[in-house]
């Protein structure tokens, strides 16, 4: 009889302690115990991969813009070098008193007008295409 009373009294104490203790959130305990560390680690790794991929894409875009800019500058310089003799001939003919009706002067003048206009049209089209 004594054992039954002790068991009954012990169970009452446990029940009383549980009733007095505040309820603890299971997620809070898991976070404090570090049981979510694997989840946090996978989330951090996923975030790191996304950031590194985005940075790689941005670097590729920057390299593409630099390449386009370099090609535009090179094309402009080549056009200036190619047009130099024609500009010299037109300037020399006009200063020398030649007529505009001369075939060589007209051809040089047309080349001096059309080549830069064509180059400008190509550069504007390339810039408009890169903005889309």
Q: What pLDDT does residue 95 have?
A: 85
Domain spans of the chain, in order of start: 2-131
Q: What pLDDT does residue 55 have?
A: 92
50-108 residue pLDDT tens: 999 999 999 999 998 898 888 888 888 888 888 888 888 888 888 887 777 788 888 88
pTM value surpassing 0.85? no
3-state secondary structure 64-112: HHHHHHHHHHHHHHHHHHHHHHHHHHHHHHHHHCCCCCCHHHHHHHHHH
How many H helices and E strands in the chain? Answer: 4, 0
The residue ranking higher by pLDDT, 76 or 11, is: 76
């Amino acid at each position: 009889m004594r054992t039954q009373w002790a068991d009954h009294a012990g169970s009452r104490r446990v029940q009383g302690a549980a009733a007095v203790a505040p309820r603890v959130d299971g997620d809070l305990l898991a976070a404090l115990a570090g049981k979510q560390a694997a989840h946090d680690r996978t989330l951090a790794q996923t975030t790191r991969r996304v950031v590194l991929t985005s940075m790689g894409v941005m670097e590729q875009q920057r390299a593409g813009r630099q390449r386009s800019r370099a090609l535009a500058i090179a094309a402009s310089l080549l056009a200036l070098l190619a047009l130099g003799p024609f500009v010299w001939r037109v300037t020399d003919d006009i200063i020398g008193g030649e007529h505009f009706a001369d075939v060589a002067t007209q051809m040089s003048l047309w080349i001096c007008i059309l080549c830069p206009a064509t180059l400008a049209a190509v550069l504007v089209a390339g810039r408009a295409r890169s903005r889309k």
